[in-house]
Amino acid sequence: ILNVEQSPQSLHVQEGDSTNFTCSFPSSNFYALHWYRWETAKSPEALFVMTLNGDEKKKGRISATLNTKEGYSYLYIKGSQPEDSATYLCAFEGYSSASKIIFGSGTRLSIRP
């Protein structure tokens, strides 16, 4: 059974502060690691798809790193804004199960004005 774990489950952050959270995944059979942002009543939106060990991707104030050897990825948000409030999901895609991504339970982020 493939396990994708995210921590923490929820996070409350003051506006303007920076924050980060973790996704851990199997270190074998790795193909890609996805990050999605899911705002209430909207569609999950792809942030990053990462494939290379050591890769770092950035989109505005959000960035992500990837360590495939030890099976973890960090998502960082710099200078949190109220519009960053959402659930952040990571998902693991393995070589032997391409097109079958396994989601973590998400980190629910709330930004306090």
Partner 1 sequence: DTEVTQTPKHLVMGMTNKKSLKCEQHMGHRAMYWYKQKAKKPPELMFVYSYEKLSINESVPSRFSPECPNSSLLNLHLHALQPEDSALYLCASSQDGQGTQNYGYTFGSGTRLTVV
Q: Tally the residues of the chain.
A: 113
Q: Does 99 bind partner 1 (CB under 8 A)?
A: yes
CA distance 56 to 42: 27
For 93, other C-beta atoms within 10 Å of its C-beta total 19
Stretch of residues binding partner 1 (CB under 8 A), selected from 20-28, 61-69, 78-86, 93-101: 93-101
3 state DSSP class of 65: strand
* Two structure tokens written together for 14: 């003051």
Residues in contact with partner 1, shown as a per-residue x/- string from 18 to 37 under the rule CB under 8 A: -------------xx-x-x-
Residues that bind partner 1 (CB under 8 A): 4, 31-32, 34, 36, 41-46, 48-49, 51, 89, 93, 95, 98-106
